[in-house]
Amino acid sequence: MSTLLEIKNLKTHFFSKDKVLPVVDGVDFKVKKGETLAIVGESGSGKSITSLSIMGLVPKPGGKIVEGEILFDGKDLVQLSENQMYKVRGNDIAMIFQEPMSSLNPVLTIGEQITEVLIYHKKLSKKEARQKAIELLKIVGFARAEGILDDYPHRLSGGMRQRVMIAMAMSCDPKLLIADEPTTALDVTVQAQILELMKDLSKKFESSIILITHDLGVVAELADRVIVMYAGQVVEESPVVSLFDEPLHPYTQGLLSSIPKLDEERKRLTSIAGNVPSPDSFPKGCRFNTRCPHVMQVCIDKQPDLIEVKPGRKSRCFLHEEGVNSNG
């Protein structure tokens, strides 16, 4: 499979009067055509800002891509002018957001919001756009799609809105879909519907998907490959199955073992000590060193690199460099 998107050493920092927050600090990864890549991390890990960096929508004022390349289909998105980015966004790369309740414009009808993308990017006539919108709505599971078109978002439930968001995102057949916590705000039963829908769509549209989530369950459901982010950096990269089978990085290990699971019973949860560091106080050395059960002097002194431990599997940890088996 060929690479659709390659991110090299992406650094997106936030500047305020007295400090610089390295929210995304040297992220590398690739997305291949047709694959679903999950980016997992807790709050403050920089996963959302990474996705917004790809979209060229880093919050302003304050946020800025200070370094790195985002190669999409061979073009470096970082270098594109704002005018050129307009053609990429919504067309080649689409995005859906976490909050379906607030991500739709409350004063425009569903129809207006879907068709405007089609009219803008695909230069369809109003009528064609409307037809296409109906098709899309049917695809995302609305039986009476025509009726929905003239409704306002507030009349729809969260699940329905997220479907609308998906329909909107898919309307221009994007090559890449970025889904930022698409199911987090939804109830379990609705989440299941949406996950099911996304699985179908990824097959149908052959789009690549970047799935951003903190929920490893969602990762297990959808992803082909996984990137684990911590404190603005990628700490582990792996195909999904091997990640669950054998997590390499101590953070991933902690994460996996701290989740209470339905299908197993433990008297006591394993947990990662301490707190997720905030970007203004990332520790020196390995950023996980404050919470790592295997912390060594070297971890405090310098930063480990993201190295390929096994084929297709990378980890950012001195344990691997020194050949220590993480399962020990």
Per CB under 8 A, contacts with another protein among 164-193 are 165, 168, 187-193
**How far, in Å, CA of 120 to CA of 129, rounded?**
10
Extract the runs of DSSP E, i.e. beta strands, from the chain.
Answer: 3-15, 20-32, 36-40, 63-72, 75-76, 93-96, 176-180, 208-213, 225-230, 233-239, 307-310, 313-315
Q: Is 20 in the site for another protein (CB under 8 A)?
A: no
If the CB atoms of residues 143 and 311 are measured against another protein, the closer one turns out to be 143
310 φ/ψ angles, rounded to the nearest 5 degrees: -135, 165
**How far, in Å, CA of 219 to CA of 226, rounded?**
8
* Interactions with another protein, residue window 85-104 (CB under 8 A): 85-91, 94-95, 97, 99, 102-104
* Interactions with another protein, residue window 293-322 (CB under 8 A): none
If the CB atoms of residues 220 and 298 are measured against another protein, the closer one turns out to be 220
Determine which residue in the list 57, 66, 80, 296 makes contact with another protein, applying CB under 8 A. 57
Strand partners, 38: 211, 226
- Provide the minimum distance between the beta carbon of 148 and another protein in the complex, in angstroms, as a whole number: 13
If the CB atoms of residues 71 and 80 are measured against another protein, the closer one turns out to be 80
* Number of residues binding to another protein, judged by CB under 8 A: 82
What number of other Cβ atoms are within 10 A of residue 112's Cβ?
17
Determine which residue in the list 19, 126, 144, 154 makes contact with another protein, applying CB under 8 A. 154
Could you tell me which residues come within 8 angstroms of residue 30 by beta carbon, excluding any fewer than 6 positions away? 3, 5, 6, 7
If the CB atoms of residues 66 and 192 are measured against another protein, the closer one turns out to be 192
Four-residue CA torsion sign, 291, 26, 23, 36? negative
- Provide the minimum distance between the beta carbon of 105 and another protein in the complex, in angstroms, as a whole number: 4
If the CB atoms of residues 76 and 293 are measured against another protein, the closer one turns out to be 293
- Helical residues (DSSP H) of 89-144, grouped into ranges: 110-121, 126-139
- Provide the minimum distance between the beta carbon of 274 and another protein in the complex, in angstroms, as a whole number: 5
Q: Identify which range of 3-11, 130-138, 159-167, 311-319 contacts another protein by CB under 8 A.
A: 159-167
Query: DSSP characters for 25-54?
Result: EEEEEEEETT-EEEEE--TTSSHHHHHHHH
Look up residue 296 and give its two tokens. Answer: 């060594």
User: Regarding beta strands 93-96 and 307-310, do their DSSP bridges make them parallel or antiparallel, or are they unpaired?
Assistant: unpaired
* Interactions with another protein, residue window 211-250 (CB under 8 A): 214-218, 220-221, 223, 240-241, 244
* Interactions with another protein, residue window 108-137 (CB under 8 A): 108, 116-117, 120-121
Q: Is 268 in the site for another protein (CB under 8 A)?
A: yes
- Provide the minimum distance between the beta carbon of 323 and another protein in the complex, in angstroms, as a whole number: 26
Q: Identify which range of 24-32, 68-76, 80-88, 127-135 contacts another protein by CB under 8 A.
A: 80-88
| Cβ–Cβ under 8 Å, residues 183 and 199 | no
Could you tell me which residues come within 8 angstroms of residue 107 by beta carbon, excluding any fewer than 6 positions away? 152
Q: Identify which range of 28-36, 63-71, 73-81, 261-269 contacts another protein by CB under 8 A.
A: 261-269
- Provide the minimum distance between the beta carbon of 167 and another protein in the complex, in angstroms, as a whole number: 12
